[in-house]
C-alpha cells in the first residue's frame, strides 16, 4: 500500500485530526459522568478487552513479634476486572444538492450534530452501566414497585453509613476537562447523579447548599447543582426514570410525577465512591475517527458525483469495578413543587 493512501475519505490526515479534536472538544464539554470514572486509554492493537487491577490491603498486624523471629509475612493480593470494548459509529449521507444549492455549510453542521451524538452515545452507555449496579436502596418500601416518596436526609445518611462500612473513600479529585488525563482537586464527597426532575426535592434536603453559594462558586462542575452533607449532586436529563414503576403516585401526601397518571415514576439516584466504575475515555488518538467523503467526488460507485457521506466510529467500554461502592437509590419526584 502506497504512502499516499488516505484513510479519512476526502480529508487529509491534518484536516481529519482537526475535525476529531472539534468532535472531542464538543463532546467532552457536554459530558457530566466521565470525570468521576476510573479511566484507562483505549490501547491500540491489544485486543478487545481491557483489564483494571486493584491491589488489596493487608490485614492489621496485631500479634506481637517473638524475640528473634520474623513474622510469616503477607502475600500481595489483587483483584482484576476485565471489560470488553465494542465499536460504535454512524454515518450521514450527503448529496450534491445539499452542497451546491444549500446556503448553509452542511458538512460543518453535520460535524456539530455528530459531536453531540458522540457525547450522548458515550453518556448513555456509561449511565446504563451505573443504573445496572446491584447495591440498591429505596426511598420507601422494599422494592421498586413500593416507591412513591422523594429523596430524604435519612436515606442518604443510611447510604453514607453503608459506604463507610465498605471503606469507600471520598472523592478528592476528578479527571480534568480536556484532552489529557490530569486531575483537579474537589472538596471531599461522594457524588450523586440523577435526573433534572429531582432538582426541587434535592433542594429541600436539610443542609442543602446550592452551587452558587459555594465558598468558590467557580469550583462547581458541569451539571452540579449543590451539595448536602457528604454528597454533591450532579443532574442531567439523560438519567431516565422507570415510567410508572412505583406505587400510587400520591406519596407522603404529595403527588409524584407519573407518566400514566396512576403510579409514580421511579428515578435512579446513583451514588459513587472513587474506584467504583471504569470507562475507556473519550479522548486520545484512538478514541474516535471521523470520515468525510465529498459528494462531488466522482468514482466508480459515484459516477456523477451525486452522493457522499460524513461519519464517525470509535471504541468504548465501561464496567463496574466494585459493586459495594456503587449505590442506586430509587426515588420518586414531586410533581408540583411549591
Sign (positive or negative) of CA dihedral 125, 53, 185, 328 = positive
Identify whether 63 is part of a domain. Answer: no
Decide the pairing of beta strands 250-251 and 254-255: antiparallel
The pLDDT score that the predictor gives to residue 53 is 83
The pLDDT score that the predictor gives to residue 6 is 42
The pLDDT score that the predictor gives to residue 29 is 45
> Domain containing 128: what range?
16-56+75-338
Identify whether 202 is part of a domain. Answer: yes
**Which residue in the block uniquely carries the three cell numbers 448513555?**
124
Residue 189 forms beta bridges with which residues? 171
Residues in the chain: 338
Identify whether 201 is part of a domain. Answer: yes
The angle, 0 to 180 degrees and rounded to 10, between the axes of the packed helices 13-30 and 106-131 is: 50
Residues of the chain with pLDDT under 50: 1-7, 29
Identify whether 191 is part of a domain. Answer: yes
Q: What's the distance, CA 160 to chain centroid? A: 22
The pLDDT score that the predictor gives to residue 4 is 44
Render 182-213 in DSSP notation, one character per residue.
-EEEEEEEEEEEE-GGGHHHHHTSTT-EEGGG
Identify whether 70 is part of a domain. Answer: no
The pLDDT score that the predictor gives to residue 304 is 86
Q: How far apart are CA 320 and CA 177, in angstroms?
A: 22
Identify whether 8 is part of a domain. Answer: no
Strand, coil or helix: 123: helix
pTM value?
0.83
Strand, coil or helix: 236: coil
Identify whether 9 is part of a domain. Answer: no
Domain count, the chain: 1
Identify the CATH number of the domain in which residue 101 sits: 3.90.1690
Amino acid at each position: 500500500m502506497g504512502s499516499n493512501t488516505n484513510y479519512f475519505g476526502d480529508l487529509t490526515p491534518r484536516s481529519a485530526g482537526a475535525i476529531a479534536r472539534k468532535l472531542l472538544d464538543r463532546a467532552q464539554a457536554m459530558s457530566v459522568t466521565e470525570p468521576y470514572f476510573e479511566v484507562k486509554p483505549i490501547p491500540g492493537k491489544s485486543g478487545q478487552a481491557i483489564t483494571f487491577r486493584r491491589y488489596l490491603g493487608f490485614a492489621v498486624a496485631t500479634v506481637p513479634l517473638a524475640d528473634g523471629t520474623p513474622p510469616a509475612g503477607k502475600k500481595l493480593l489483587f483483584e482484576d476486572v476485565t471489560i470488553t470494548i465494542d465499536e460504535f459509529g454512524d454515518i450521514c449521507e450527503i448529496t450534491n444538492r445539499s452542497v451546491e444549492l444549500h446556503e448553509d455549510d452542511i458538512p460543518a453542521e453535520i460535524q456539530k450534530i455528530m459531536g453531540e451524538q458522540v457525547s450522548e452515545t458515550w453518556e448513555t452507555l456509561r449511565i446504563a452501566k451505573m443504573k445496572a449496579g446491584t447495591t440498591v436502596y429505596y426511598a420507601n418500601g422494599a422494592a421498586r414497585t413500593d416507591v412513591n416518596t422523594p429523596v430524604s436526609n435519612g436515606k442518604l445518611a443510611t447510604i453514607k453509613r453503608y459506604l463507610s462500612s465498605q471503606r469507600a473513600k471520598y472523592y478528592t479529585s476528578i479527571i480534568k476537562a480536556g484532552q489529557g488525563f490530569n486531575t483537579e482537586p474537589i472538596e471531599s464527597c461522594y457524588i450523586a447523579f440523577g435526573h433534572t426532575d429531582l432538582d426541587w426535592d434535592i433542594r429541600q434536603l436539610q443542609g442543602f447548599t446550592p452551587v452558587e453559594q459555594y465558598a468558590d462558586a467557580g469550583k462547581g462542575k458541569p451539571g452540579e447543582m449543590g451539595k448536602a452533607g457528604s454528597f454533591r449532586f450532579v443532574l442531567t436529563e439523560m438519567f431516565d426514570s422507570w415510567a410508572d414503576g412505583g406505587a400510587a403516585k400520591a406519596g407522603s401526601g404529595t403527588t409524584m410525577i407519573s407518566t400514566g397518571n396512576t403510579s409514580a415514576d421511579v428515578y435512579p439516584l446513583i451514588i459513587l465512591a472513587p474506584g467504583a466504575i471504569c470507562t475507556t475515555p473519550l479522548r486520545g488518538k484512538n478514541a474516535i475517527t471521523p470520515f468525510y467523503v465529498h459528494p462531488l467526488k466522482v468514482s466508480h460507485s459515484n459516477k456523477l458525483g451525486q452522493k457522499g457521506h460524513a461519519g464517525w466510529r470509535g471504541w468504548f467500554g465501561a464496567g463496574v469495578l466494585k459493586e459495594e461502592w456503587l449505590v442506586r437509590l430509587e426515588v420518586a419526584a414531586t410533581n408540583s413543587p411549591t
